[in-house]
Amino acid sequence: MVSTPGAEPRRITINDVARSAGVSRQTVSRALNDKGEIDGDTKQRVLDAARALGYRPSRFARGLVRQDTMTIGLVIPDLLNPFFTEVAAGALEAARSRGWHVVVYATADRADEERDTLQVITSQVDAVIGYFSCSESELESYTRGMPVVLIGREGRSTRFSSIRIDGEQGVRAAVAHLVAEGHNRIGMLDHRTRAEPSIRHDWFTAAAREHGIDAGLVVDADQTADGGGTALRTLLAARPEVTAVFTFNDIIAVGALREARRLGRSVPRDLAVIGFDGLQLGALVEPPLSSVALDTRKLGALAIEQLARLLSGLGTSEADDLIVHAELHLSGSA
């Protein structure tokens, strides 16, 4: 992983510039950093030499000497998924108020990118928050004692702090609402991770069973609008009697909304749709999306706060969980 291909050209250092300009290192430093205490001609000569040589200061050497700012790495799978960017926005805001900086790493939802990111991140930031699909032990082997806060990871963590999403009540309320509206054929467009049904699917199944409803009408969907559309089509082709769908998230729901329109099903009259996440996006579509909503910004903000606790050394034990509850927000689509 080297920036320059082929033979490694020795890095140009401040010494090279000094030699070339016929001055000392310190004078070069002064010229480059706009300190006073330097002759105008000398400064220009140094600047010219630096430019001619293509000199770029080492950020590491500089950081070593200068005052250190706290920098947090935020790892998310996908920049194009508004859920993650909303979480990121929340984290950035919370970090800003502490004077911390956040750098965002997107892994393109690929395991190898995630590993690669994890590998370099240790030399870039002081702590890490984010979504990871790799195992805890793998995560630990990369982060090596660096403070870590997991976001929205399903399944309890033993070694890391995490911010978890509890949508059980919200999903139950969603199903109850649909049943109250007379729906008894309710499908779900789920999103599986490594062939595993999501925990949202579990919540849905449990809620459906409470009402004695068939909870087997499940189709797997890509985490995109197109994925949601395709999944809805598949579902309705197999089970045309379905009159309502609950989806893994709002992106999938929005895709389902669009597909319903194409199929000539009016929402919510012919098909009720309830998503999950409560994204801002839901308010832009027609009809506005009903959703089991959570405070995405808060999710990111909590991660930062938990990190602060970890870094202060005091407070919570290493593997400590905070919970964000999701609740049903009804709008036009159900």
Partner DNA sequence: TTGAAAGCGTTACCAG
Partner DNA sequence: CTGGTAACGCTTTCAA
Q: Which residues of the shown chain bind DNA in the complex (CB under 7 A)?
A: 11, 13-15, 22-30, 32-33, 36-39, 41-43, 55-58, 61-62, 64-66
Contact predicate 258/231, CB 8 Å: no
Q: What gap in Å lies between CA 261 and CA 255, rounded to an integer? A: 10
- 42 makes contact, choosing from its own copies, DNA, none, with CB < 5 to 8 Å by partner type, with DNA
Residue of 6, 40, 54, 212 interacting with its own copies (CB under 8 A): 54
Asked if omega into 268 is within 30° of 0 (cis), the reply is: yes
Name the nearest CA neighbour of 1 among 134, 120, 130, 163: 120
Residue nearer to its own copies on the CB measure, 92 or 208: 92
Counting residues that bind its own copies (by CB under 8 A) gives 69
- 105 makes contact, choosing from DNA, its own copies, none, with CB < 5 to 8 Å by partner type, with its own copies
Q: Count CA within 13 A, CB hemisphere, residue 8.
A: 5
Name the nearest CA neighbour of 165 among 329, 323, 327, 328: 323
Residue nearer to its own copies on the CB measure, 126 or 327: 126
Q: Does 307 participate in binding its own copies (rule CB under 8 A)? A: no
In angstroms, give the least distance from the CB of 141 to DNA: 14
Q: Which residue has the tokens 């009016």?
A: 266
- 325 makes contact, choosing from its own copies, DNA, none, with CB < 5 to 8 Å by partner type, with none
Which 105-144 positions form the footprint of its own copies (CB under 8 A)?
Answer: 105-106, 108, 113, 117, 120, 122-126, 141, 144
x-or-dash string of contact with its own copies, 168-207, rule CB under 8 A:
----------------------------------------
Which helix (H) or strand (E) segment holds residue 16: the answer is helix 14-21
In angstroms, give the least distance from the CB of 172 to its own copies: 28
Q: What gap in Å lies between CA 286 and CA 267, rounded to an integer? A: 9
Contact predicate 118/293, CB 8 Å: no
Q: Hey, what long-range contacts does 193-201 have (CB within 8 A, 24 or more apart)?
A: 193/133, 194/133, 198/154, 198/248, 199/154, 199/155, 200/167, 200/171, 200/248, 200/276, 201/248
Q: How far is CA 122 from CA 29, 103, 276, in A?
A: 28, 12, 33
Residue nearer to its own copies on the CB measure, 205 or 306: 306
Q: How far is CA 110 from CA 123, 137, 142, 157, in A?
A: 21, 18, 17, 22
DSSP state of 196: B
- 93 makes contact, choosing from its own copies, DNA, none, with CB < 5 to 8 Å by partner type, with its own copies
Residue 215 token pair: 């909870």
Q: What gap in Å lies between CA 61 and CA 63, rounded to an integer? A: 5
- 89 makes contact, choosing from DNA, its own copies, none, with CB < 5 to 8 Å by partner type, with its own copies
Q: What gap in Å lies between CA 222 and CA 191, rounded to an integer? A: 6
- 27 makes contact, choosing from DNA, its own copies, none, with CB < 5 to 8 Å by partner type, with DNA
Which 239-298 positions form the footprint of its own copies (CB under 8 A)?
Answer: 254-255, 258, 261, 280-281, 283-286
Residue of 22, 63, 216, 240 interacting with its own copies (CB under 8 A): 63
Residue nearer to DNA on the CB measure, 14 or 294: 14
Residue of 6, 10, 34, 40 interacting with its own copies (CB under 8 A): 34
Residues that bind its own copies (CB under 8 A): 1-3, 11, 32-34, 50-51, 54-56, 58-64, 66-71, 79-80, 82, 85-86, 88-89, 92-93, 96, 99-101, 103-106, 108, 113, 117, 120, 122-126, 141, 144-147, 225, 254-255, 258, 261, 280-281, 283-286, 311, 313
